Amino acid sequence: MKKFPNFFSGFCFQNEGVLFEHLANLQMPYSFSGFSYGSILAFRATLQSLKNHQRVQKLNLFSPAFFQNQSPAFLRMQILGYKQNPQNYIKKFLDLCHFNHQNFLKIGTLEELQDLLYFQWNPKDLEWLVAQGVEIEVFLGAKDQVICAESVRRFFTPFAQIRIYANHSHCLQDIRA
């Protein structure tokens, strides 16, 4: 299985970088990439690297987890659904992702789910990354059923180049196939 050292996996995923390597160079030096929840982790790693005076040129965010536009009730329902039946919650989540590659499956934890649901993208941090010379690219599927691609597009537009793929799911796979 191909590994990408600066790629961060999404909730319930592992080693899925190969799904995105046709969209961006995941082996580019001085770059971080992440899918869904992994986008949050890649963002944090980018901030930390720059604060440690390390060079970072690019941040690739594939379907970044973005729930700050959701109501507190929605977030609580997600946590409750997971607590009541983690296997059923994960199955429904993967169905929404249009995901059927068992070799990339990893059981997500409640802590990871809470982190991704309650994470707040900070515009000042994104502005700082851009001021430091980091190029940010956001990749979205127009048919994403996990996040609202339009909300993500509107939020990230001042800081990033946005790529939206028609008929693509959360995993950025063409759902017509």
Summarize pLDDT for 44-65 with one digit per residue, the tens.
Answer: 999 999 999 999 999 999 999 9
Model pTM score: 0.94
Q: Are 33 and 122 in contact (CB under 8 A)?
A: no
- Residue 48 in any domain: the answer is yes
In a domain, 174, yes or no: no
Q: What angle do CA 7, 8, 14 make, to 5 degrees?
A: 105
Both structure tokens of 41: 């982790």
On whether the CB atoms of residues 60 and 19 are closer than 8 A, the answer is no
Higher pLDDT, 166 or 5: 166
- Number of domain units in the chain: 1
Query: Residue 139: what are its φ and ψ, rounded to 5°?
Result: -115, 125
Domain presence at residue 157: yes
Predicted pLDDT at 176: 85
Q: Is residue 171 part of a domain?
A: no
Residue 177 inside a domain? The answer is: no
For residue 130, what is the domain's CATH number?
3.40.50.1820
pLDDT score for 28: 84
Look at the block and give the residue holding tokens 């000042």: 124
Query: Within 13 Å and on the Cβ side, how many CA atoms surround 66?
Result: 27
Give the tens place of pLDDT for each residue, 92-142: 998 998 877 778 889 999 999 999 999 999 999 999 999 999 999 999 999
Dist. CA 59–CA 7, nearest whole Å: 10
What is the CB neighbour count within 10 angstroms for residue 168? 21
- The per-residue pLDDT for 2 is 63
Q: What per-residue confidence (pLDDT) applies to 44?
A: 98
Mean pLDDT of the chain: 94
In a domain, 49, yes or no: yes
Find the mean pLDDT for residues 31-54: 97
- Span 142-167, mean pLDDT? 97
Residue 102: what pLDDT? 78
Which structural domain, as residue segments, surrounds residue 27?
Answer: 7-165
Residue 176 in domain: no
Whether residue 130 is contained in a domain is answered as yes
